[in-house]
Amino acid sequence: MTGAPPDEILAFLGEPTPAAWVGAARQALPVLAVDHANCEKKAAATAMSLMNRYPGRYRLVQSMSRLAREELRHFEQVTRLMRQADIPWRTVSASRYAAGLREQVAKDEPDRLVDLLVAGAFIEARSCERFALLAPHVPPPFDDFYRGLLASERRHFVHYLELARDYAAGDGGVDRRIERFRRLENRLITDPDTEIRFHSGPPD
């Protein structure tokens, strides 16, 4: 998969990334590379946390095990590219994006599991969109690396969304939850931020 993100990703997100974010991000590769590496570690940790919290959910455990391994492989790849490009590791604060989504997650089961999966679907979908937007504006080999990530980000999005729908079966409210998360997610990526990050809003 190369080029623009798939239509299903754009339709699910609802709101595209602001052009101002793309303009700022294309000038901030060193910071974004570190933030990207941190995001891959956190994505693997999230998958493993779900495995530990819900060990009796066979499909979930199998899917998250594969996802965690892939996220750690992406971490290895991005840190290797950073070394090749002489991008030093530094401390980079997290954006408010993931924490903002988690604030929407229900406290009680089974709603909590479904909300965590819906939040995961949005994170993977937005990542897919932003890799596609950045790929034409970053130097080799980051350009091909970002394009190569589109298929895996889409696959992760699909896994999270399918699991959310499966575990909400009979509830009838999963679409309402998706819409609630969509409104929040859209605010998080369109409201201005003081620092550029992979999932931040446009610069203030």
Round to whole Å and give the CA distance between 35 and 14.
24
Q: Is the pLDDT of residue 5 over 90?
A: no
State pLDDT tens for residues 23-71.
999 999 999 999 999 999 999 999 999 999 999 999 999 999 999 999 9
Domain assignment of residue 20, yes or no? yes
Q: Compute CA distances 165 → 5, 174, 178, 181, whole Å.
A: 22, 7, 10, 14
Radius of gyration of the chain (CA): 16
State pLDDT tens for residues 104-117.
999 999 999 999 99
Q: Is the pLDDT of residue 2 over 80?
A: no
Q: Compute CA distances 135 → 120, 130, 131, 161, whole Å.
A: 22, 8, 6, 25
CB 46 within 8 A of CB 120: yes
| 25 sits in which H/E element | helix 19-25
Domain assignment of residue 99, yes or no? no
Q: How many CB atoms lie within 10 A of CB 18?
A: 16
Q: Is the pLDDT of residue 95 over 90?
A: yes
Please report, for the domain that includes residue 128, its CATH number. Answer: 1.20.1260.10
- Of 11, 1, 33, which Cα lies nearest the Cα of 125? 11
CA 154 to chain centre: 10
> What SS3 string covers 58-87?
HHHHHHHHHHHHHHHHHHHHHHHHHHHCCC
Domain assignment of residue 200, yes or no? no
3-state secondary structure of 3: coil
Per-residue confidence (pLDDT) for residue 3, from 0 to 100: 58
Domain assignment of residue 175, yes or no? yes
Domain assignment of residue 74, yes or no? yes
- Of 97, 105, 106, 103, which Cα lies nearest the Cα of 43? 97
User: What average pLDDT does this structure show over 78-98?
Assistant: 96
Round to whole Å and give the CA distance between 28 and 109.
40
Domain range enclosing 20? 7-92+107-190
CB 54 within 8 A of CB 113: yes
State pLDDT tens for residues 123-179.
999 999 999 999 999 999 999 999 999 999 999 999 999 999 999 976 667 999 999
* Number of structural domains in the chain: 1
Domain assignment of residue 2, yes or no? no
User: What average pLDDT does this structure show over 193-199?
Assistant: 96
Domain assignment of residue 1, yes or no? no
Domain assignment of residue 102, yes or no? no
CB 175 within 8 A of CB 3: no
Per-residue confidence (pLDDT) for residue 99, from 0 to 100: 94
Token pair in block for residue 83 = 């070394």
6 — pLDDT class (breaks 50, 70, 90): confident
Amino acid at 165: R
